[in-house]
Structure 1
Amino acid sequence: MIRTVAGRVRRTLPPPARRAVRAALLGWGWVTADLRASPGLIVVGAQRAGTTTLFRLLSEHPGLIRPSVDKGTGYFDDGYRHGRRWYRAHFPLRRPGRWSRIAFECSGYYLFHPLAAQRIAAELPDCQVVVMVRDPVARAHSAHRHELARGFETLRFEEAVEREHERTAGLADWLVADPTGVSFAHRHHSYLARGEYAAQVDRFVTALGRERVHVVDADELFADPIGVYVDLQRQLGLEVHRPREVKRWNERPGEPLPDPLTARLRSHFDDHDTALGVLLGHPPSWRKEQG
């Protein structure tokens, strides 16, 4: 019922009213937190790499239960200071007939946040995670359009990537040093760093073990959605559920980048993509196309 109410709220109410209803739902969730599901699956990112599409697919799976209010909670990144009870408040009540279903969430900043992997490992020792990766040049450009649309960015894309180091230098170390810290620039202005996937995936593998980290190539998912999704379900130990259709959600089409800028960014990611290929056991799709 709460999930139905939350859906209606998102569709019909203005933002201030939505925030008030969301606060009320989480307040009730806090009171009943001990009776609520604890997630066994988390989609951790990357941002702008098809996570919304995968979330929609997983939400339709009869063996899974999505959060009651939002697709993600942000608990293991900026929300960690709120505590475990706050986290459980986001999930549905456990009811007869639902005990065998696995709760899940999708928070795209977890992959990039320097502490999220170890926090998940400590609090959810049996949880599996899914990492989605996408051509990092296309991802960076899409993320910039996303931040512009949200009012979190004012610079043109080329200037934003040129100034990224200046704007974000030292912030990851600061977040590690101050576990209660929150950094706007680290979250919203790290266009290139978020696409340096190998180090981020390795951080999760180190914290959780290779068998609990499942990497999905977004470009392969969009090229063969049913095949890739079925393969992921098997990796996760889920009964295979074939959706009737697969839509690409939350896409922000944009103008193509100039060739010289694309080449410069591609060069930036050369070593990172090679390292990702070593972790995967094969080159990522965007490097296969170039080779």
Structure 2
Amino acid sequence: MRGSGDPDAWLDDDASPPECPPGWRTGPPDFVGVGAQKAGTTWWFKLLTAHPDVHETGGQRPELHFFDRFVTGWPGPDDVERYHRFFPRPPGAMAGEKTPIYMACHWVPRMLRDAAPETRPIVLLRDPIARYVSGRTHEDARLARVHRGVRDPANEVRWVSDAFAKGLYAQQLGWLYAAFPREQVLVLQYERCVADPAAQLARTYAFLGLDPFEPPSDELARPRNVTRREKLELEPERRTMLVDLYRDDVARLATLVPDIDPALWPDFS
């Protein structure tokens, strides 16, 4: 039976599982982009699905948001079967999804493991200060639009706290590693992906067991998180506070994932 969280209450018709053509199969996703928000995940997922052996599943929104909606209840067999139906693919092809809030939801990694124990989570991590600014810029604009410029203090407090929490990467990876073996998880650094996308994409393909492939150069160089919104300017005092609050988590992250280079994050170099 469906868990009491009932994702159908949140997923619209556009997110209904697509049809599975004759001869194709459905099943657990081969990979899932789980985070972090505002770290180039949309760009990277487009590059992944450009590979000829990766099928870009139809009938779903850019982000599926299946498990984060189970804030109460637990996915039952019917939920798991429904999740699997989002991933039809032809013989020999891979399929996956990306919902970058998954990593920030402590309940999602174990739900994902229960539904897809062999899936390979993929994580992109960005300088937490830059991620915070990008997230705040996006959400501040959304709230202003929704509330027609009238301030909503309750939502502002919730969102600012949430924006900070999403940058605690070591904590979130701890939840992910408690659910999946480390060798089953790929952690990439956004700044390295921007500096050398071809090399980091080749690493991603190899992690998934895919043959080498070079996507069109315009896809590799496409803009990432480009916005016309006025970028949030942090007060010097707030920036200093955020750096101090993130410092221990960044140090833990560098120990947890030696490939992460804090020198690429100016405030932590």
TM-score class normalised by the smaller sequence: 0.7 to 0.9
Distance 1:221 1:136 in 2: 16
Deviation for aligned residue 1:256: 4.2
Structure 2 SS opposite 1:65: coil
Deviations 1:91-127 (A, max 9, x none): 33x4xxx221111100011101111111111111111
Distance 2:242 2:36 in 1: 18
* CA pair 285-88 structure 1, distance change in 2 beyond 3 A: farther
1:240 paired to 2:240: no
Distance 1:70 1:27 in 2: 11
Cα RMSD of the aligned pairs, angstroms, is 3.1
Q: 1:75 aligns with which of 62, 66, 70?
A: 66
Alpha carbons 1:142, 1:252 under 8 Å: kept: no
Q: Where is the helix percentage greater, Structure 1 or Structure 2? A: 1
Distance 1:208 1:64 in 2: 22
Deviation for aligned residue 1:66: 2.3
Q: Which residue of structure 2 aligns with residue 278 of structure 1?
A: 255
* CA pair 228-146 structure 1, distance change in 2 beyond 3 A: same
Q: Which runs of 5+ in 2 are unaligned?
A: 1-11
Q: Which residue of structure 1 aligns with residue 126 of structure 2?
A: 134
Q: 2:30 aligns with which of 36, 40, 45?
A: 40
* CA pair 83-256 structure 1, distance change in 2 beyond 3 A: same
1:195 paired to 2:172: no
Q: Which residue of structure 1 aligns with residue 83 of structure 2?
A: 87
Distance 1:109 1:189 in 2: 15
Q: 2:92 aligns with which of 93, 97, 100?
A: 100
Alpha carbons 1:145, 1:252 under 8 Å: kept: no
Deviations 1:26-57 (A, max 9, x none): 27649x9x953431100001111110110110
Q: Which runs of 5+ in 1 are unaligned?
A: 1-18, 168-184
Deviation for aligned residue 1:277: 0.3
Distance 2:28 2:177 in 1: 21
Q: Which residue of structure 2 aligns with residue 251 of structure 1?
A: 226
Percent of aligned pairs sharing the same letter:
26
Q: TM-score if structure 2 supplies the norm length?
A: 0.77
Amino acid at match of 1:272: D
Amino acid at match of 2:143: G
Alpha carbons 2:243, 2:267 under 8 Å: kept: no
* CA pair 289-268 structure 1, distance change in 2 beyond 3 A: closer
Q: Which residue of structure 2 aligns with residue 110 of structure 1?
A: 102
Distance 1:286 1:257 in 2: 20
Deviations 1:218-269 (A, max 9, x none): 1111111111111222222221211222113443362543433222211110
Q: TM-score if structure 1 supplies the norm length?
A: 0.72
Alpha carbons 1:118, 1:207 under 8 Å: kept: yes
Amino acid at match of 2:172: Q
Structure 2 SS opposite 1:64: coil
* CA pair 238-27 structure 1, distance change in 2 beyond 3 A: closer
Q: Which residue of structure 2 aligns with residue 180 of structure 1?
A: none
Q: 1:147 aligns with which of 131, 139, 160?
A: 139
Amino acid at match of 1:72: E
Alpha carbons 1:273, 1:283 under 8 Å: kept: no
- Superposition pairs for residues 58-69 of structure 1, below 5 Å? 58-68=48-58, 69=60
- Superposition pairs for residues 120-269 of structure 1, below 5 Å? 120-151=112-143, 164=157, 167=158, 190-245=162-217, 246=220, 247-252=222-227, 254-269=231-246
Aligned pairs, number: 239
